[in-house]
């Protein structure tokens, strides 16, 4: 059976989690973020486009998972400052770092949202 509903524009969102430590060397001396600490990070990968009328879907969520798996391996339970490009791993820098690595694999990528805490996040849209 195929989808026969005409054009349908959608956004798919897949969320990932990792645990990591960091410190923020550009913060003022004495600031709590200058000290070594960790977060239970989450990030959303948002892709957008037209649903394939023959398939009835934009993309397989498994494709998103496959594109992000190597990044999770690189980030999970590591000290982010030791990773090339993350020497100053603010949420802003981390969101762009993830985007830059996922976009070549997922051309429909439109946004990365990094959640550093339950109440603080950063969106990067390329």
Nearest CA to 116 among 17, 26, 13? 17
Active site residues: 33, 77, 116
The count of C-alpha atoms lying within 13 angstroms of the C-alpha of 41, restricted to the half-sphere facing its C-beta, is 28
Tell me the residue ranges of DSSP E strands in the chain: 9-22, 37-50, 78-79, 109-115, 121-124
């Amino acid at each position: 059976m195929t989808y026969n509903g005409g054009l349908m524009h959608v956004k798919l969102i897949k969320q990932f989690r990792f645990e990591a430590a960091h410190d923020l060397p550009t913060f003022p001396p004495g600031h709590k973020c200058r000290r070594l600490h960790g977060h239970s990070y989450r990030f959303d990968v948002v892709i957008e486009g037209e649903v394939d009328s023959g398939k009835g879907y934009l993309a397989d969520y498994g494709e998103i998972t496959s594109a992000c798996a190597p990044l999770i391996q690189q980030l999970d339970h590591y000290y982010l400052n030791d990773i090339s490009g993350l020497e100053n791993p603010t949420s802003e820098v981390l969101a762009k770092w993830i985007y830059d690595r996922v976009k070549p694999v997922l051309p429909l990528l439109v946004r990365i949202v990094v959640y550093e805490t339950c109440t603080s996040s950063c969106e990067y849209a390329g």
